[in-house]
Amino acid sequence: MSAIDKRRKVSVQATAQGLLYYRTTLENLLRVIQTGDEKLIKRLIDDIRAGVPLEVISRTAAECLELTAVPPPPMLD
């Protein structure tokens, strides 16, 4: 395998990981909005409006789901 092929493979893997991260974050945010109480939803919206980094918003959404014990939806792939 050439060096270019290896770089492409690494690039594809990094892109796939990034897409999975963003998809998981979006799914978590939507589940919090669907199932969370108003206080949790308001906290997330306030964080988003305040410009809190995406990593923090993602972690907060995941923590909110843990608090409400909402199981993840089945994957549709």
Give the residue extent of every domain in the chain.
8-68
pLDDT at 53: 97
Over the stretch 36-60, which tens digit does the pLDDT of each residue have? 889 989 999 999 999 999 999 999 9
Residue 69 and residue 60: Cα distance in Å, rounded?
14
pLDDT computed for residue 36 by the predictor: 87
Query: In the predicted model, is pLDDT for residue 70 greater than 60?
Result: no
**How far, in Å, CA of 19 to CA of 8, rounded?**
16
- pLDDT score of 13: 86
Q: Residue 67's pLDDT is what? A: 81
Mean pLDDT score, 63-75: 72
